[in-house]
């Protein structure tokens, strides 16, 4: 301790704290903090851990529901009751900054961290999804990042034994410096086996389980709370190193210990390591902890208290155990070749106290550290971005009409944001555990659940271009489209988690975007009845060229009552009737058509009528439950023509075509590639066509019978006439061909 640096304001500033925050720490402690205490406050009050610039707005989100078993933000993951004595745990988080400098380990440990959030709740992970954003695909660095992020996700998930069943991959130059790697995990548990993340019971033993502690990942939380720069490569030591095989053992040991009644509370030891897990569990339980750092299993020599407390070594957890079951707990973890070492005990005082060499090296009020308890909460200055004056002035009539709409369709279909991402997800095992019913090609992934006839539908969604142009509307659309994806497989949407990726919150324009997104997300969730179970905020996603597009990613779960009610997006049989639900208005602002054919990101996001959205989703769900439709497919990026092409070719073993006729006064390119919201393609047999129309008329929603399924060829009015073999070749081959870099 004598060799530790003297704590000064200058040292606090170097740790990322402000002068006001340093003064607040002195006031809380009644003295100058020790070096270890300064390090603890610096990580716990970082944006990554404290949510200090977002929590005030996040508290406005709808988080109440009769089916929610946990409060948003109060536990490691959200839990939703799905009946039959079962519950679903799910959450999404970011690992953006680590993936920017060390893409393989950054992505891999992102998956590992989100999996631990799930099984700390007593849930067995059954699925992973990933939502990825990269820069210009032609850049060698982008291809390097894509390749190693995908390898990292695949390596961890495949080795751990969890299927990666869905997600998104998008490209835009705004992510050139700062890619986004958001990982979502879903788990299943018996409601009676729910484990809380709170410390309870004075005198109960505090136990570290899992791997040994090293120096990897120290100050990873503060690294995630600063901008990417030319110096970020120097932060590679802040990137954790994962071991999926150890994590698999940790999962099995933890669930076995839960079955044996050994556990009072459990907390993942992720960001900020021991500092975070001890303080958060104490704050939730209105108690404290006494921890002897000499007892912590370490794998490196001469580690200081500062390093031990702040290490973010992976595959570790903190357990408050039943004292009479401590021997059983140790035996279980020993069987799995894992540490289970008592390092302290729960105390009545509201402090976390760390000792080293018999001396107190840090003693801090637990509630002063934890987000939502005593950590700072700020409301930043907001200002509407100046760029919106320019983007909103877009005049769509100024666009030259393309001479060949076949060419437009082929160019958009083969673009990196639209083309098939098999190159990505074929590196993932999406069938392990044998529960996957539909995987990445469907509108939402669908999983069977042992112990129930119900199926679980899960998806991630978010269009950052829409949010860039119209933040509030774009956020509403992200929620609505996620729900639409669930409905299109026959599911009833239940709840969401979210990962909100933005630039620097101290920039008033960025904070305005953030506030608008939270408001839009709240409006849509309230209307759709999908409460927010929790999530993650990732600020400081920007580099020398500026901030990323504001990127809210919505993760949603839903329930399908029976496997016989499952719907897929592909057309099935020649002669089936194709219906379009919703209205064509030809909106082109922010579309893939503008982006890839006219090289522009201008206009405003398409309007969204939430009442119409709800009515259409309910109608499709009723049709699916009545088994009247053979397919359903959401119209999203690329519009009508892309949705029709995908419905023709999404089953490569049985490609179809379609003959489509749509009377319209809308300009042809706008009709085919406009991205109006609340539209769904469905198909039905000729026998069911009339009952379908009767139900749609009764629900008073706009719809058209626009054609029929045919073999081999897609025709749309006199605008498009293409063989489906050509569509399929471009759709399936374009992305692998674009990934030219060999790694």
Enzyme catalytic residues: 48, 95
CA atoms within 13 A on the CB side of 361: 25
Query: Can you tell me which residue has the tokens 């903090």?
Result: 33
| Token pair in block for residue 624 | 């699916």
Which H/E stretch holds residue 26?
helix 19-29
SS3 call for 301: coil
Distance, in Å, from the CA atom of 63 to the CA atom of 526, rounded to the nearest integer, reads 9
Tokens of 683: 């198909």
Concatenate the DSSP letters of all residues of 492-537 into one string.
EEEEEEEEEE-S-TTSHHHHHHHHHHHHHHHHHHHHHT--EEEEEE
CB neighbourhood size of 157 (10 A): 29
Strand order in the sheet with 445-448: 436-438, 445-448, 455-461, 551-560, 492-501, 532-538
Q: Are strands 205-210 and 263-268 parallel, antiparallel or unpaired?
A: unpaired
Nearest to 491 by CA among 570, 437, 559, 565: 559
CB 63 within 8 A of CB 521: no
Q: Of 613, 474, 453, which is closest to residue 552 (Cα–Cα)?
A: 474
Q: How far is CA 645 from CA 171, 340, 478, 658, 663, in A?
A: 21, 55, 23, 9, 19
Cα-based distances in Å from 136 to 178, 460, 645, 733: 12, 22, 25, 18
The Cβ-side half-sphere exposure at 271, using a 13 Å CA radius, reads 30
- To 5 degrees, how large is the angle CA 260–CA 265–CA 270? 115
Q: Which run of H or of E encompasses 578?
A: strand 577-581
Say how far apart CA 598 and CA 412 lie, in whole Å.
11
Strands 124-134 and 164-171, by their bridges, are: parallel
CB atoms within 10 A of CB 451: 10
Exposure string for 117-131, b = 16+ CB within 10 A, e = fewer: bbbbbbbbbbbbbbb
């Amino acid at each position: 301790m004598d060799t530790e640096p003297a704590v000064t304001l200058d040292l606090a500033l170097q740790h990322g704290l402000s002068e006001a925050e340093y003064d607040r720490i002195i006031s809380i402690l009644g003295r100058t903090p020790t070096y270890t205490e300064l390090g603890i406050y610096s990580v716990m009050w970082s944006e990554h851990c404290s949510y200090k610039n977002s929590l005030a707005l996040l508290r406005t989100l709808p988080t109440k529901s009769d089916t929610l078993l946990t409060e948003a933000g109060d536990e490691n993951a959200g839990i939703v009751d799905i009946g039959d004595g079962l519950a679903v745990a799910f959450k999404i988080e970011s690992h953006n900054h680590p993936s920017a400098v060390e893409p393989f380990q950054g992505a891999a440990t992102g998956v590992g961290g989100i999996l631990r959030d799930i099984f700390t709740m007593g849930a067995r992970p059954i699925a992973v999804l990933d939502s990825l954003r990269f820069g210009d695909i032609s850049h060698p660095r982008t291809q390097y990042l894509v390749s190693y992020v995908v390898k990292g996700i695949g390596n961890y998930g495949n080795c751990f034994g969890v299927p990666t069943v869905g997600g998104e991959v998008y490209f835009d130059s705004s992510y050139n410096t700062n890619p986004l790697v958001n990982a979502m995990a879903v788990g299943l548990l018996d409601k009676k086996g729910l484990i809380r993340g709170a410390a309870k019971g004075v005198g109960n033993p505090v136990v570290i389980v899992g791997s040994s502690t090293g120096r990897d990942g120290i100050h990873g939380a503060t690294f995630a709370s600063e901008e990417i720069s030319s110096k970020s490569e120097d932060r590679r030591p802040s990137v954790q190193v994962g071991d999926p095989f150890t994590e698999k053992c940790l999962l099995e040991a933890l669930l076995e210990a839960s079955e044996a009644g050994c556990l009072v509370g459990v907390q993942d030891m992720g960001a900020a390591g021991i500092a975070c897990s001890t303080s958060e569990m104490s704050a939730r339980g209105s108690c404290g902890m006494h921890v002897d750092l000499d007892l912590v299993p370490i794998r490196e020599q001469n580690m200081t208290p500062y390093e031990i407390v702040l290490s973010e070594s992976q595959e570790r957890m903190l357990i408050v155990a039943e004292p009479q079951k401590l021997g059983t707990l140790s035996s279980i973890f020993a069987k799995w070749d894992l540490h289970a070492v008592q390092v302290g005990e729960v105390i009545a005082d509201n402090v976390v106290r760390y000792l080293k060499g018999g001396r107190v090296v840090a003693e801090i009020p637990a509630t002063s550290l934890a987000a939502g308890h005593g950590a700072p909460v700020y409301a930043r200055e907001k200002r509407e971005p100046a760029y919106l004056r320019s983007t909103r002035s877009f005049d769509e009539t100024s666009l030259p009409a393309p001479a060949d709409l076949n060419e437009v369709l082929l160019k958009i279909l083969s673009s990196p944001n639209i083309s098939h991402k098999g190159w990505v997800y074929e590196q993932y095992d999406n069938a392990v555990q044998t529960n996957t019913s539909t995987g990445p090609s469907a509108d939402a992934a669908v999983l069977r659940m042992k112990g129930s006839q119900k199926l679980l539908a899960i998806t991630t969604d978010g269009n950052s271009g829409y949010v860039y142009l119209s933040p509030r509307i774009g956020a509403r659309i992200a929620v609505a489209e996620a729900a639409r994806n669930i409905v299109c497989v026959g599911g009833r949407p239940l709840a969401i988690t979210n990962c909100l990726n933005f630039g620097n919150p101290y920039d008033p324009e960025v904070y305005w975007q953030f506030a608008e997104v939270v408001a839009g997300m709240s409006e849509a969730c309230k209307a759709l009845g999908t409460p927010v179970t929790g999530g993650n905020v990732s600020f400081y996603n920007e580099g020398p060229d500026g901030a990323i597009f504001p990127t809210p990613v919505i993760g949603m779960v839903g329930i399908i009552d029976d496997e016989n009610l499952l719907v897929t997006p592909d057309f099935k049989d020649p002669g089936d009737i194709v219906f379009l639900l919703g209205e064509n208005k030809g909106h082109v602002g922010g579309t893939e058509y503008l982006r890839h054919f006219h090289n522009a990101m201008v206009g405003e996001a398409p309007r969204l009528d939430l009442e119409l959205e709800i009515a259409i989703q309910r109608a499709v769900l009723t049709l699916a439950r009545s088994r009247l439709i053979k397919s359903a497919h959401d119209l999203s990026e690329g519009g009508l023509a892309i949705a029709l092409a995908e419905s023709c070719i999404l089953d490569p073993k049985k490609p179809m075509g379609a003959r489509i006729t749509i009377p319209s006064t809308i300009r042809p390119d706008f009709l085919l590639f406009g991205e109006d919201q609340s539209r769904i393609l469905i198909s039905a047999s000729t026998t069911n066509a009339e009952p379908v129309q009767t139900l749609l008329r009764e629900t008073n929603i706009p719809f058209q019978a626009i054609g029929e399924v045919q073999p081999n060829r897609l025709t749309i009015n006199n605008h498009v006439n293409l063989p489906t073999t050509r569509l399929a070749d471009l759709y399936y081959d374009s992305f692998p061909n674009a990934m030219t870099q060999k790694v």
